[in-house]
Structure 1
Amino acid sequence: MVYVVVPSDVFFINSLWKGFYEHLGKRQPATLTVDWFNATSSKVNATFLEVSSTQLKLSGVYKKEEAHLLLKVYQIKNPREGFVSKLENDNWALNGYVSSGLERGVFTYQGDIHGNGFGKFMLQRQSPLSVDTDHPNHYYGTNSSSVAAAILVPFFALILSGFAFYLYKHRTRPKVQYNGYAGHENSNGQASFENPMYDTNLKPTEAKAVRFDTTLNTVCTVV
Structure 2
Amino acid sequence: MTPDAILFLISQPYLKGRRLKALQASLTRACPIPCAIVRMEGREAGPMSALDALVGEGAQNILVQPVGIPFSDSLFAWLPGALAHWQRERGFDGELALASDQIGDEAVLAAIARSSLDNAAEATPVETDRGSIDGAGWDEVPAHRHHLLVCTGPRCNFRESGPLSAILAEELTRQGVARDCLVATTGCLFPCNNGPVVAHYPAGHWYRLANADDVARFVSTVLKDGKSLPQLMIHEVSQ
Q: TM-score range by the shorter chain?
A: under 0.3
Looking at secondary structure, tell me which structure has more strand per residue. 1
Instruction: State TM-score, norm by structure 2.
Output: 0.22
Instruction: State TM-score, norm by structure 1.
Output: 0.23
Higher alpha-carbon Rg: 1
